[in-house]
Every structure is written in C-alpha cells, then in structure tokens.
C-alpha cells in the first residue's frame, strides 16, 4: 500500500473520530462533560462546550477528511498539533494536579498515539523535502 493511501485512511479515521465528538457535543453536551464530572449549570458553560467540542471538532474533522484527499501534509500537521496540544495540557495537569480518572488517561493514550502517528506519517511523506 502506498503511503498516500495509508495517510488517506488515517486522516479519514481521525476526521470521523472528531466528527463523532462534535455531534455528541452539539446535541448532548452534558453527556460529553459527564465523562469528566463537569456539570454544565449555565448557558455560558453549555455554549462553550458546544463551541469547542462541538463546533471546532466539527470543522476540524471535516477539514482533516478533506485534507486526506487534497492536502495530506496539512492534515497531518493539524492532527499532530491538535493531539499534541491535548497531550501537553494533560501531562501538565498530571504533574500539577495528580492522577485523573481512567477516561482522561485513556484519551491521553489516544491523543499521544494520534500525535505520534501523524508526525511519523508527515515526516515519511515529506522526507524527500527535509534533506
């Protein structure tokens, strides 16, 4: 299988994962926040959850799927930056605040893996341009 085909599959799966989170957050934001024991007790909290987890994930997921077919380098960079941002924040919280629940630890593993795979694929795809 050519690397471009593998990247297309990877970015499509990542995009679909983001879309799954987005749809849940847009239509049932409290269910998303229940995983981390956060109660959305006011309109601003609900709006922020719907905006970030819903709206941002919706558009990012759609773009990453598009990028899998039209701009793989950019899709991989965005996936790595997004996943890497979560990894940095979660690791900092782990150091400063202690051990989170198993849901957060699971996502730390998923986001770390996503980031690593996206970076490896990016460097593999662009290795001829890096020398």
% residues pLDDT > 70 (the chain): 96
The answer to whether residue 58 sits within a structural domain is yes
The answer to whether residue 130 sits within a structural domain is no
E strand map for 1-131: none
Structure-token pair, residue 67: 């990028």
The answer to whether residue 80 sits within a structural domain is yes
The answer to whether residue 131 sits within a structural domain is no
The answer to whether residue 94 sits within a structural domain is yes
The answer to whether residue 129 sits within a structural domain is no
Q: Which residues of 60-95 are buried (b: 16+ CB within 10 A; e: fewer)?
A: bbebbbebbeeebeebbbbbbebbbebbeebeeeee
pTM as predicted: 0.88
The answer to whether residue 79 sits within a structural domain is yes
pLDDT at 131 > cutoff 80: no
* pLDDT per position as a tens digit, 70-90: 999 999 999 999 999 999 999
Give the count of domains, the chain. 1
Structural domain that includes position 57 = 3-124
The answer to whether residue 106 sits within a structural domain is yes
* pLDDT per position as a tens digit, 103-123: 999 999 999 999 999 999 999
């Amino acid at each position: 299988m050519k690397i471009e085909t593998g990247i297309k599959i990877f970015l499509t799966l990542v995009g679909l994962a983001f879309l799954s989170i987005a749809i849940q957050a847009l239509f049932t934001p409290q269910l998303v926040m229940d995983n981390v024991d956060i109660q959305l007790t006011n309109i601003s909290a609900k709006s922020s959850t719907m905006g970030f987890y819903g709206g941002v994930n919706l558009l990012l997921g759609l773009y990453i799927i598009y990028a899998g077919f039209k701009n793989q380098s950019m899709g991989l960079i965005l996936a790595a930056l997004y996943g890497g941002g979560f990894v940095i924040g979660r690791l900092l919280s782990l150091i400063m605040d202690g051990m989170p629940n198993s849901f957060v630890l699971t996502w730390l593993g998923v986001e770390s893996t996503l980031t690593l795979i996206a970076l490896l694929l990016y460097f593999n795809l662009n290795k001829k341009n890096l020398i």
